[in-house]
Amino acid sequence: MKAHIAAVAAVLASAAAAAAQTHTTIRHHTVAESTAAPVRPEVTQAEAALDRKDYAAAEPLLKKAVSDDARDYRAWFDLGLLYKATNRRADAIDAYRNSVAADSSFFESNFNLGVTLAAAGQNAEAARYLRAAAALKPLTSPEHNRAQAYAALGEVLAQNNDPQGALAAFHSAEELEPRNAALHVSAGRALESSGALDAAAAEFTRAAELDPQSSEALAGIANLDMRAHRLPEAEAALRKFLAANPQNAAAHLQLGRVLAAQNKNPEAAAEIESALKLQPGDLEAERELAGLHAAARQYDQAAQDYRALLQRDPGNPDLHFAYGTVLMDQHNFSAAEPELLAAARVKPTAEVLGNLAVVAAENQHYPLVLQALDSRAKIVPESAGTWFLRATALDHMHEATQNPDMLKQAIAGYKQFLAASNGRNPDNEWKARHRLIALEAKK
């Protein structure tokens, strides 16, 4: 369960994805208003076609414009928009490059080139153009669009393993738009990735103050609390998140895990059940719910859960082990043994082999007891419990065969048990001493 709590990025993936800002390209067809250069008629016609999303009509007009004048930065910019809209990223990058080459002072071309390069994974070059854009004056909403350029730069630098540069960029964005909750979320994410968790928490908290309904901010706070294993705080953050996002299956599941880690099993089961109603078929969640039923000693329900899971994943050794253990807890030893054997064949852990030895002893399959214990002893040292199981198995086998070697081994096993137990298992120690008296008399 602790491993699940640590894996916060995967569990709240939907919220984290929402937190990642998607910086879309900027469209402006008012470029001519900022320059004395005349606009070619075909560019004006093409822009009208772009507004109608009539890309087939716009493309030949724009290609003619750049063919007639390779320095027409507006036509190149419009071509970049067209290529982006028609999923031709490489062509869009080339078009934006040509627009910037024709006029490097045009914010929109620098910004669009930067975010398109970033989308292509070319972060180092993307940072160059986004940094240039942030220093320029956009045609419209200058503070907002420059803030977006700084935020996009911050995300690129964070992905490029430059957390300090990313933070500087986000802080520049926040200075331009101090009440923009999304910018604080982005800064929080960059701080978190750099390991500055307290500073990240401050950014997420500020974002939540600015926008109490921000699922991204609430998810960030919850994730940080879980990373720090502040379980009560994580529980409170997740409950607040779910109050705003009651249909988020991942958050219900994570809250269930946090509650389980605090031994609040009934509440944990209810949250995982809610997650499964919203997102049926999640095998991992179903396994956790079965485990909660087992922990609550609801063995009938747990056995039913594990049977259903094994029908869908029959080769899973962990499911065979869990099901076999539940059957063992029900004292259904004959049914438990084949399940534990199936687990041991694929994944012979010390715990699997120990349970198999216990079940085999109850079933009077004494050679299997010794086989399981011998395998277990190769992984971990013997304990008082395993010495007692070994001694009693050898004792029973000696009774059946009168084999003198088994007699010696049984005596040695009981003595090893008594030395290891040293008063901690009085009932079994009493049995061992009385069996030693009987066995020693047969030597």
Whose structure tokens read 């009934």?
266
What is the pLDDT, as a whole number, of residue 261?
86
Q: If pLDDT is split at 50, 70 and 90, which confidence band does 27 have?
A: low
Residue 324's pLDDT is: 97
| Amino acid at the residue 60 | P
Q: 239 with 20: CB under 8 angstroms?
A: no
User: What's CA 164's distance to the chain center, in Å?
Assistant: 25
Query: Which pLDDT score, from 0 to 100, does residue 35 have?
Result: 46
Say yes or no to pLDDT of 367 above 50: yes
pLDDT digit string, tens, across residues 412-440:
999 999 999 999 999 999 999 999 999 98
pLDDT of residue 174 exceeding 50: yes
Q: How many CB atoms lie within 10 A of CB 403?
A: 14
Residue range 258-277, pLDDT digits in tens: 898 898 999 999 999 999 99
Share above pLDDT 70 across residues of the chain, in percent, rounded to a whole number: 92
pLDDT digits over 77-133, tens only? Answer: 999 999 999 999 999 999 999 999 999 999 999 999 999 999 999 999 999 999 999
pLDDT at 5: 34
- How far is it, in rounded angstroms, from Cα 85 to Cα 105? 24
Q: Is the separation of the CB atoms in 225 and 206 below 8 Å? A: no
**Residue (of 13, 90, 14, 86) closest to 49 by Cα position:** 86
What rounded mean pLDDT belongs to the chain?
87
What sign has the CA pseudo-torsion 265, 270, 275, 281?
positive
**pLDDT average, residue stretch 240-254:** 86
Spell out a b/e string for 301-318, using b for 16 or more CB atoms within 10 Å of the CB, else e: bbbebbeebbeeeeebbe
**What is the C-alpha to C-alpha distance for residues 197 and 417, in angstroms, rounded to an integer?**
50
Residue 19, pLDDT score? 34
Structure tokens given for 294: 């087992």
Residue 443 pLDDT exceeds 90: no
Query: pLDDT at position 312, please?
Result: 92
Assign 3-class secondary structure to the chain.
CHHHHHCHHHHCHHHHHHHCCCCCCCCCCCHHHHCCCCCCHHHHHHHHHHHCCCHHHHHHHHHHHHHHCCCCHHHHHHHHHHHHHCCCHHHHHHHHHHHHHHCCCCHHHHHHHHHHHHHCCCHHHHHHHHHHHHCCCCCCCHHHHHHHHHHHHHHHHHHCCCHHHHHHHHHHHHHHCCCCHHHHHHHHHHHHHHCCHHHHHHHHHHHHHHCCCCHHHHHHHHHHHHHCCCHHHHHHHHHHHHHHCCCCHHHHHHHHHHHHHCCCHHHHHHHHHHHHHHCCCCHHHHHHHHHHHHHCCCHHHHHHHHHHHHHHCCCCHHHHHHHHHHHHHCCCHHHHHHHHHHHHHHCCCHHHHHHHHHHHHHCCCHHHHHHHHHHHHCCCCCCHHHHHHHHHHHHHHHHHHCCHHHHHHHHHHHHHHHHHHCCCCHHHHHHHHHHHHHHHCCC
Q: How far apart are CA 176 and CA 133, in angstroms?
A: 14
Which pLDDT band holds residue 26 (cuts at 50, 70, 90)? low
pLDDT bin (cut points 50, 70, 90) of residue 1 is very low
Tokens (6 digits) for 139: 């045609």
* pLDDT score for 284: 85
Least confident piece of the model among 17-31, 234-248, 304-318: 17-31
Query: What is the mean predicted confidence (pLDDT) over 171-197?
Result: 85
Torsion-angle region of residue 87: left (phi > 0), alpha (psi -120 to 50) or beta? Answer: left
Q: How far apart are CA 388 and CA 77, in angstroms?
A: 81
Share of the chain above pLDDT 90, in %: 59
At 207, the amino acid letter reads A
Task: With cut-offs at 50, 70 and 90, classify the pLDDT of residue 23.
Answer: low
pLDDT above 80: residue 363: yes
* Rounded Cα distance, 109 and 102, in Å: 10
Is residue 28 a contact partner of residue 110, using CB atoms and an 8 Å limit? no
Average pLDDT, integer, range 309-322: 95
